[in-house]
Structure formats: structure tokens, C-alpha cells
């Protein structure tokens, strides 16, 4: 997993290898800190949609899908949670717990989220508006598409 400012990845990389932690800008101030995200500067896409998950009950899991085209930046705004990434060849589990780090997740990566701490808030910035036809919600269907290079 890479960290830092966004840089394009080689097309020869597997989908999971294109995922990376992005160290977002921080302005430290005794009155409270500030972090921001700019389209095309910190992330490789324009932000078309933002949503957040909160009040997640203990033991709950979220995600459980992949996207054909959509790209996302996932941020633990408050608290912490784990995210499991899977590109059909490899899996990786990451723990998100800092509001100044974002996890870039590109297309064709199955994601599952669990281990939410009490009071956690997960912010997701997305490259497209909601489109149900962009989802793989069945893991076997995703796996077939991923392994044939869809």
C-alpha cells in the first residue's frame, strides 16, 4: 500500500495494487485541526457524490460489493474500522483510524468493512452518482469478471 500524494499507477498493476493510502493535508491549529480533499489534486477523480456511514451496531459489516467503474476515497472521520480489499487474486485487510488518511479504492475491487468502533463515522467520496448497474453484489459473479479481466 502506497501513501502520500496521488500518483498514477501502471495499467499492468492488479486492481488491489492500485489501492493506496493517501496522506491528506493537515493544518494543525490549537483551536482544532483542519483536513481537506481536492479533486484531481489529492485524488484521481472528480467528486460526484459523498455519503457517510454512522451509528453502526457492534458486530455489523458493511460493503460486501465491488464497482465496475466507480472510484472511491474512504476516510475514518471518527473512530476506526477495518476494510478488506479483494481483487479476485489477493486480499488485504487495512485498519483505518485517522481522519487525515484516505484509502483510495479503484474499480473492480471487492470491499468489506467490519470491526467498527463505537461512534465511528466513515466518509466516502465517490467518482460517480449512484448507479445500481455499476455494482457487483454477488461475490462469485465479481470473481468471474475479475479473473477474465473485466
Residue-wise pLDDT tens digits, 75-118: 999 999 999 999 999 999 999 999 999 999 999 999 999 999 99
Residue 101 CB-density burial (10 A; 0-12 exposed, 13-18 middle, 19+ buried): middle
Residue-wise pLDDT tens digits, 6-53: 344 444 456 888 899 999 999 999 999 999 999 988 999 999 999 999
Q: Is 95 in the active site?
A: no
**Dihedral angle computed from the Cα positions of residues 24, 18, 88 and 122, in that order, rounded to the nearest 10 degrees:** 10
Given the residues 15, 42, 65, 67, select the one marked as catalytic. 65
- Looking at CATH, the fold of the domain delimited by 15-147 is given as Jelly Rolls (2.60.120)
Closest CA to 63 of 117, 128, 118, 115: 115
**Any idea where the domains of the chain sit in the sequence?**
15-147
Whole-model pTM: value is 0.87
Amino acid at each position: 500500500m502506497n501513501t502520500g500524494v496521488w500518483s498514477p499507477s501502471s495499467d499492468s498493476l492488479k486492481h488491489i495494487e492500485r489501492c493506496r493510502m493517501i496522506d491528506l493535508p493537515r493544518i494543525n491549529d490549537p483551536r482544532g485541526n483542519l483536513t481537506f480533499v481536492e479533486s484531481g489534486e489529492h485524488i484521481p477523480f472528480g467528486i460526484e457524490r459523498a455519503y457517510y456511514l454512522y451509528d453502526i451496531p457492534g458486530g455489523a459489516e458493511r460493503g460486501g460489493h465491488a464497482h465496475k467503474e466507480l472510484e472511491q476515497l474512504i476516510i475514518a472521520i471518527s473512530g476506526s474500522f477495518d476494510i478488506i480489499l479483494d481483487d479476485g487474486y489477493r486480499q488485504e485487510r487495512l485498519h483505518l483510524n485517522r481522519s487525515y488518511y484516505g484509502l483510495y479504492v479503484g474499480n473492480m475491487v471487492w470491499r468489506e468493512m467490519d470491526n467498527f468502533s463505537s461512534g465511528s463515522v466513515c466518509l466516502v467520496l465517490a467518482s460517480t452518482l449512484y448507479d445500481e448497474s455499476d455494482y457487483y453484489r454477488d461475490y462469485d459473479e465479481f470473481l468471474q469478471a475479475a479473473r477474465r479481466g473485466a
